[in-house]
Homo-oligomer: A and B are copies of this chain.
Amino acid sequence: MSAPSVGQSERRSGALLEYLARRMRLRSESVLAPLGLRPRHLVALTVLRDAGGISQQALASTLQIDSTNVVGLLNDLEAAHLVERRRSPEDRRRHDVFLTETGASRLGEAECALASAEEEVLGALDPAERDQLYELLRRATSGAPANCAAAVTDEAELDASC
């Protein structure tokens, strides 16, 4: 490959995101393994740091994974004492999920260890561009994840436009 540009004609970010995320995930795996974490554990911990105390359902919706799989994910993390399930006093069906102190510090270590993975995967970008990318990703992921239902209804119209 001689300086290839993946996806030029329609300028869609989809394939590029998939491509870059895969590279990052592969490199992250080996860095996270010594900490007993997998990439999806990292994402879950990261979400819980900001949204601690949410229910498993809400967590599933935020992570966009099936709620049945949240069970296993939390079983892993709880067994490692990184998160805690507390039966909600308001609604006894619910479990509120919290990051433990151990979990918070483990997450910090993980993010620290990820420096080398980023170094490699984002090597083509200079520090300023990496900051820019981080900021854009942060803003994009901060966006309301709840607008899915509304957006789906517009789908047909959008498709016709191009």
Q: Which residues of A are in contact with B by a Cβ distance under 8 Å?
A: 1, 3-26, 28, 31, 39-40, 42-43, 46-47, 49-51, 54, 58, 62-64, 108, 111-125, 129-134, 136-145, 147-148, 151-152, 154-155, 158-159, 161-162
Q: Is the interface of A mostly helix, strand, loop or mixed?
A: helix
Q: Which residues of B contact A51 (CB under 8 A)?
A: 1, 4
Report the bound CA distance from A54 to B4 in whole Å: 12
9 residue pairs, one from A and one from B, having the closest CB atoms? A124-B143, A21-B21, A10-B111, A16-B137, A116-B158, A4-B50, A120-B151, A15-B46, A112-B162
B contact residues around A120 at 8 Å (CB): 147-148, 151-152
